[in-house]
Structure 1
Amino acid sequence: MDESRNWPARPATMVRVAVVVFVLAWIFGPYELRSAVPVLLVFLIALGLELNFLISALRSTPSPRPDRKPQDVDRERYGYEGETDDLLLVRRDGEEVWIPYSGESSEEIEALIADAGAPREEVDESTFEPEGRRTLAPVRQFLVGLGIICALGLAIWFVESRTGWDSLDGSTRIGAVERFSDEASRIAGKPVSIYCDESRDFVGAVQHADGVAEVGGERAYLTPEICLDLYRLAFEDQVRGSRTGRALAVLAHEAWHLHGVRDEGTAECHALQSGVETGRRLGLSEETARQLMRQQLTENALRAGGSVEYRVPPDCRDGGRLDLDPGSTRFP
């Protein structure tokens, strides 16, 4: 008997496959996916669905035991309308057939079966799964799903601990943060501190922000992903296209908040201009730094929804009110 008969195997399998595919895409896919969707949320949804499957299976009504006694049509056919215990069930060519039985010996029963043209076969005594085993089947399925979720969580931890910001030793991270703080202090016009929010208490997908700073304050928080991209640029000379540009823009953006700029659009406009010098100081050529900031300016115009407040205002242009270097024709 199929132990998972009362278990919604197909939906459960689809959910598990979807979770595996998403987690692999989250690990190896674009940064935008990591920044947009917290993987913990995906795990919680998957766990909730597994619990729903388990509860549904436990609450489902088990299949009733078939009535193996002779049916009315069998009793009428063989003249046993008033009796139910004197017919013997055998199979013939895959079809169940009732044979009259009145206390015959084993040899006589064999003869009756032979006369009926049925092959010798044991009486069908269908076995049904005990109630305890039927209950354990969905529990086992739930444990399988839970095991998959835990395995994926361990996979993410393993990858992050060896390739992410957490893979760097403590002294390396401290040195990197000091470098980021120096660059932010230049923009803020005063000593400020940059922190990489490894616990994600202040920034991340849940807060819908790659960085946060108190306006006019002295500290700002960046996501570990932004810190890692800045580290790769400053200490490993790695340029990862728009990811590097985004990291520079976020660092400069939060530094302008520390400087005292409150409006998000204005802070973003100033950040895209300051990001050129910051990128150059961290190892980029001026042309590459400008190209990355122009790319960020282009992507800024495409923002919608929750990021609309970060759109730069119309005055964010060459010679405009927000141009930090009106004497130059290069913008940003």
Structure 2
Amino acid sequence: MGEPRAQHLSSAASLVRIGLAVFVAVWLFGPDALRAAVPVWLPFLVALGLELQFFLTARRAPPGSTRPDRRPQEIDRELYGYPKEPEDEDDVAEDDEPDWEPAEPRRRAWPVPGLLAGVGVIAALAALAWFVESRSGWSGLDAEKRAAAAERFSVEAARIVGRPVEIRCDESGKRVGFVQHTDGVAEVGGRLAYLTPDRCHELYRLAFDGSTSSGTARAIAVLAHEAWHLRGVRDESTTECYALQTGVELGKRLGLSEERARRLMRRALTENAGPGTSFEYRVGPACSAGGELDLNPETDEFP
């Protein structure tokens, strides 16, 4: 493989590894919205694919066997006055002919060390991400705290539904999460609903630690949303509208002031009209003060 090409691939591989390290750091210690939107295994999968591509590209490239012409070039003769070489080979004495033999083709180098280095970096960063994640977030809570939190969420959901229901945090990721593109799921009219661990952790931090983050409003809305499904409301847009309204009282019961809870739900209502909201979840004109879906039409405040 030619030296410039090898340097290019090496630089590209280094940039990929540095980029992966930066992403892992931001994912672990950055905004909660990033952790909720991007599963940590995705960038590792992309990085591994790029490492394999670099390896195969280097393996398929022909070995560099072309010897550069080190004789004075035309521009060198013009600038520095090198004598012109005779055009007729007979004019060159045998003694003056350079002893030059074609260089033997270089053996094709296996770029295995680079691949092993890349895989090693990916494995080390994956281990770091797993270690930190397993000791933080919802997974970092012991079983007793998780059980107490799930029971509290169930009680709050039951207040909205009007009968006993159960809220579980889907630690297996089989029912909700990135693959299902949802933060919660519930059987309409049933008694059981699931939330993602990230949303459960946001609710835990609010209810048990009294702390909030950028994901607090969304977590409250998700719990209220699934509660309305359990109550029997099927339409997603209607359910979301009801959830944003009851989210004010739910937020108050979990520890927020009325002003803060109302501000968070109003922000969630504004974000509902943004490009990140799926069509079926987008609320319409009926979800407004005095509108058809207003649960408290006697007041001017909404939600």
Normalised TM-score (structure 1):
0.77
SS of 1:312's partner is coil
User: In 2, Cα distance between the equivalents of 1:151 and 1:216?
Assistant: 46
SS of 1:206's partner is coil
Which residue does the alignment assign to 2:18?
17
- Structure with max Cα Rg: 1
1:284 aligns with 2:256: yes
Which residue does the alignment assign to 1:258?
230
CA contact (8 A) 1:261 1:267 kept: yes
1:324 aligns with 2:295: yes
Which residue does the alignment assign to 2:246?
274
Which residue does the alignment assign to 2:45?
44
User: In 2, Cα distance between the equivalents of 1:306 and 1:320?
Assistant: 21
Which residue does the alignment assign to 2:98?
98
Once the two structures are TM-superposed, the CA of residue 268 in structure 1 deviates from its matched residue by 0.8
Could you say if the C-alpha distance between residues 3 and 127 of structure 1 is closer, same or farther in structure 2, counting changes exceeding 3 Å?
A: farther
Unmatched runs of 5 consecutive residues or more in structure 2: 69-85
Match of 1:207 among 156, 180, 185: 180
Once the two structures are TM-superposed, the CA of residue 198 in structure 1 deviates from its matched residue by 1.6
CA contact (8 A) 1:6 1:62 kept: no
1:232 aligns with 2:205: yes
CA contact (8 A) 2:65 2:104 kept: no
User: In 2, Cα distance between the equivalents of 1:230 and 1:243?
Assistant: 9
User: In 2, Cα distance between the equivalents of 1:168 and 1:206?
Assistant: 24
SS of 1:238's partner is coil
CA contact (8 A) 1:226 1:247 kept: yes
1:29 aligns with 2:2: no
User: In 2, Cα distance between the equivalents of 1:147 and 1:233?
Assistant: 39
Which residue does the alignment assign to 1:91?
none
Which whole-Å deviations, capped at 9, do the CAs of 1:154-205 have from their partners, x for residues lacking one? Answer: 2211221222111100111011111111111111222221111122112222
Identity of aligned residues (%): 55
- For the aligned residues, what is the CA RMSD? 3.0
Aligned pairs for 1:36-75 within 5 A = 36-64=37-65, 66=67
Tell me which amino acid in the other structure corresponds to 2:228.
W
CA contact (8 A) 1:210 1:250 kept: yes
SS of 1:38's partner is coil
Could you say if the C-alpha distance between residues 125 and 217 of structure 1 is closer, same or farther in structure 2, counting changes exceeding 3 Å?
A: same
Tell me which amino acid in the other structure corresponds to 1:191.
P
Which residue does the alignment assign to 2:280?
309
Once the two structures are TM-superposed, the CA of residue 78 in structure 1 deviates from its matched residue by 5.5
Could you say if the C-alpha distance between residues 78 and 243 of structure 1 is closer, same or farther in structure 2, counting changes exceeding 3 Å?
A: same
CA contact (8 A) 1:36 1:208 kept: no
User: In 1, Cα distance between the equivalents of 2:222 and 2:282?
Assistant: 14
Which whole-Å deviations, capped at 9, do the CAs of 1:258-295 have from their partners, x for residues lacking one? Answer: 11111111111111111111111111122221121111
User: In 1, Cα distance between the equivalents of 2:90 and 2:239?
Assistant: 92
User: In 2, Cα distance between the equivalents of 1:157 and 1:3?
Assistant: 38
1:143 aligns with 2:144: no
Could you say if the C-alpha distance between residues 4 and 179 of structure 1 is closer, same or farther in structure 2, counting changes exceeding 3 Å?
A: farther
User: In 2, Cα distance between the equivalents of 1:232 and 1:124?
Assistant: 76
Once the two structures are TM-superposed, the CA of residue 215 in structure 1 deviates from its matched residue by 1.5
Normalised TM-score (structure 2):
0.84
Once the two structures are TM-superposed, the CA of residue 77 in structure 1 deviates from its matched residue by 6.6
Which residue does the alignment assign to 2:126?
153
Q: Which moved more, 1:58-67 or 1:142-151?
A: 58-67
User: In 2, Cα distance between the equivalents of 1:34 and 1:190?
Assistant: 33
Tell me which amino acid in the other structure corresponds to 2:279.
V
CA contact (8 A) 1:265 1:310 kept: yes
Which residue does the alignment assign to 1:299?
271
Which whole-Å deviations, capped at 9, do the CAs of 1:104-147 have from their partners, x for residues lacking one? Answer: xxxxxxxxxxxxxxxxxxx999898655xx21xx1111111111
Which residue does the alignment assign to 1:171?
144
Tell me which amino acid in the other structure corresponds to 1:37.
V
Once the two structures are TM-superposed, the CA of residue 327 in structure 1 deviates from its matched residue by 2.3
